[in-house]
Amino acid sequence: MEKEFLAIIAGVLALLFAFVFSNQIKKESDGNERMKEIAGHIHQGAMAFLKREYKYLAIFIVVIAVIMTVIPSLGWKTAIAFVLGAILSILAGYFGMNVATKANVRTAEAARNGQSKALKIAFSGGAVMGLSVVGLGVLGLTITYLFFDGNVQYLTGFGLGASSIALFARVGGGIYTKAADVGADLVGKVEAGIPEDDPRNPAVIADNVGDNVGDVAGMGADLFESYVGSIISALTLGAALVSKNILGNEAIIFPLILASAGIVASIIGVVIARNSKSENPQKALNTGTYIGGILVIIVSAVLSKMMFGDFKAFIAIISGLLVGMIIGKITEIFTSADYKYVKKIAEQSQTGAATTIISGLAVGMQSTLIPIILIAIGILVAFYAMGGSQESLMGLYGIALAAVGMLSTTGLTVAVDAYGPIADNAGGIAEMAELPHEVREVTDKLDSVGNTTAAIGKGFAIGSAALTALGLFASYAENTGITKIDVLNPVTLVGVLIGAMLPFMFSALTMESVGKAANKMIEEVRRQFKEKPGIMEGTEKPDYTTCVDISTGAALKEMILPGISAIVVPIFIGILLGAEALGGLIAGAVASGVLMAIMMSNAGGAWDNAKKYIEGGVYGGKGSDTHKAGVVGDTVGDPFKDTSGPSLNILIKLMTIVSLVFAPVIVEFGGLLMKLF
């Protein structure tokens, strides 16, 4: 049991770097009184949201832990692992957001003196998040594994904790940010005609808080889940290989060491990007990302040869990395204004909002083709490289390794991902504090770069979700002892149909929640403008707190139903129709969930950039009818790309892992309905 300590060292190292970066950020100047005040509002609003969210989650965690403890086939050990996974997921989000709400104002202040230092602060903020995610992830998993004497069964409990918190955080954060965004835009920009981030807008603080709770804390919990999910998927399959004497203990060690190597590579990449002397911020981020990626590739080749004696595992990992990167590129092609799809949506906007919507939906649907084929190729290559149909369990392990490979540099991709909202927030603070125009220009430039790298991160998230779910799915079959999930059996096909329906239902719920919450916000902003006419003249202060409260309350209320259903429905169907139908349900949910997630994310991204493209001056530019149509597309796309779409990736893994954890219960009680006949 000594190699596991390498993982602990890597995890501690990641947290150490996160701590150092965090302290360095805090030492920077946080600007003048006005900036401090605004940043204080945002920080407090974000923390108040997290605090209230954690209260709800605490109840949820305790209830599930008690249920697990009283079910004999699960027991207190699973419950403890579950609680640990949940708490670490919360901590990852908390660390990241805490530092992000400090880095934003310091980035704005640094931007007064140009780009270089502002980039460093914003990126360091993102790196704290990224390294916290991977550090806590690897540490948590390794400790759970060692604590339970190498029994991987309890890791699934850890994964359930991480997944369920991720879903709540993503859905809650997504609803919060979009409600505030839509509310601030629709009344402020459209009705009152004041610019974005104008301090007279009562929803402006809520909007900036939203960027933090949605795009930072929500995304952190999301990627924590993806990261540990992929490792757990590989570890449980590895353990099955060990128990069947197909492989030795290296099958369990390998994913942990690979993840540890990925952490070290991420740290090196982060340090390079952060200290880059390049004047071009895009280049700085790219250099770091590519160096990190290349390091992982080299290390995985060496590890594959050292531990397994051949390069089969390496091929599986490379196939995962390549698939993820190409999906990222495809995502960019479908959502960037440099390519024809976004341009076409802008062109179609000339005939009104209806054609904007139709063409955007068509682009989103079309954009599913290549990613699905790539995922298919990735699955087949990884499967046949490691084992294939002769040794199917080995092949499945290869698929799981491909996902671990994709996510091994999560520390780096999260750093780039989380850097965006920090720069965005810095711009908002600059605007509200009425800093010179040049400051905003710097932050805007910082915000706009990193899109390519962020797109690759998205590609990894989508690709790994499918591969991880597939790996967990195989473990589910191992644990329930079913030898097939045969869709020729109508009961299984019923499971597939119900499973395929769930992402639709889930998206409907989350989209409606955004609508409801946004409406409340719109009413409140309108009320304030009406009752306090001094706001617009600058003689009266708007009441930011009420808007923050509305977003907070609505997000928390609305996250409960989708979150709970994701956990209850698989267990219910498993007990009613049996383990095989539940397997069908998962397969159906993965298939339609991956598709809806790609469709919604890309349609949303394409609409967003089509609007920006029009704002750049084509087809009449800002204020034209074409632009108005583009704004409609962007508003529809907001819940698509920031709430429903990303939540689906978590949903499919959460449902898989719920089934996996509750497998003993389903084996014992499953198929109630069948027993009636």
Question: Between residue 318 and residue 377, which ones bind a second copy under the rule CB under 8 A?
Answer: 348, 351-355, 357-359, 361-366, 368-369, 372-373, 375-376
- Whether the Cβ atoms of residue 173 and residue 555 lie closer than 8 Å to each other: yes
Q: Does 87 bind a second copy (CB under 8 A)?
A: no
Q: Which two tokens stand for residue 282?
A: 């895009």
Q: How far is the CB of 500 from a second copy (least distance, A)?
A: 4
Q: Which residues of 483-522 are buried (b: 16+ CB within 10 A; e: fewer)?
A: eebebeeebbebbbebbbebbeebbebbbebbeebbebbb
Tell whether residue 484 is a contact of a second copy (CB under 8 A). yes
Binding window for a second copy (CB under 8 A); candidates: 115-123, 248-256, 457-465, 473-481: 473-481
- What's the CA angle centered on 551, arms 550 and 557, to 5 degrees? 90
Q: Is 672 in the site for a second copy (CB under 8 A)?
A: no
**533 CB-near residues (< 8 Å, 6+ apart):** 540
Contact, 582 vs 659, CB < 8 A?
yes
Give how far Cα 583 sits from Cα of 124, 467, 495, Å. 43, 16, 7
Binding of a second copy by 296 (CB under 8 A): no
In terms of CB distance, is 395 or 450 closer to a second copy?
A: 395
Using alpha carbons, list the distances in angstroms from residue 139 to 8, 144, 229, 294, 652.
5, 8, 14, 24, 25
Using rule CB under 8 A, residue 504 touches a second copy: yes
Phi, psi of 34 (to 5 degrees): -60, -45
Kindly tell me which residue out of 2, 33, 437, 488 binds a second copy, with binding defined by CB under 8 A.
488
Q: Does 498 contact a second copy by CB under 8 A? A: yes
Residue 70, interface with a second copy (CB under 8 A)?
no
Give, as ranges, the residues between 224 and 253 that touch a second copy (CB under 8 A): none
Q: Which helix (H) or strand (E) holds 421?
A: helix 410-432
Residues 378-407 that bind a second copy (CB under 8 A): 379-380, 383-384, 388-389, 392, 395-396, 399
Q: Is 391 helix (H, G, I), strand (E, B) or coil?
A: coil
User: Which residue lies nearer to a second copy by CB, 261 or 599?
Assistant: 599
Sole window of 46-54, 117-125, 244-252, 591-599 interacting with a second copy (rule: CB under 8 A):
591-599
What string of DSSP letters covers 604-669? Answer: HHHHHHHHHHHHTTGGG-TTSHHHHHHHHHHHHHHHIIIIIHHHHHHHHHHHHHHHHHTHHHHHHH
| 8 Å CB contact between 128 and 22 | yes
Closest CB to a second copy among 219 and 399?
399
Contact string (CB under 8 A) for a second copy, positions 592-621, x = contact? x-xx---x----------------------
Figure out which of the listed residues 2, 27, 675, 677 binds a second copy, where binding follows CB under 8 A: 677
Q: Binder to a second copy among 146, 297, 494, 561 (CB under 8 A)?
A: 494
Q: Which two tokens stand for residue 341?
A: 């799809």
Interface residue with a second copy among 255, 463, 562, 584 (CB under 8 A) is 584
Which amino acid is residue 598, in one-letter code? Answer: I
Stretch of 36-44, 193-201, 474-482, 619-627 contacting a second copy, by CB under 8 A: 474-482
Q: How far is the CB of 486 from a second copy (least distance, A)?
A: 4
Comparison of 140 and 630: residue with beta carbon closer to a second copy: 630
The site string for a second copy over 514-553 (x = CB under 8 A, - otherwise) reads xx--xx--x-------------------------------
Q: What's the closest the beta carbon of residue 604 comes to a second copy, in angstroms?
A: 12
Q: How many residues bind a second copy (CB under 8 A)?
A: 85
- Nearer to a second copy (CB atom), residue 229 or residue 578: 578
Q: Evaluate whether 506 touches 648 at the Cβ level (below 8 Å).
A: yes
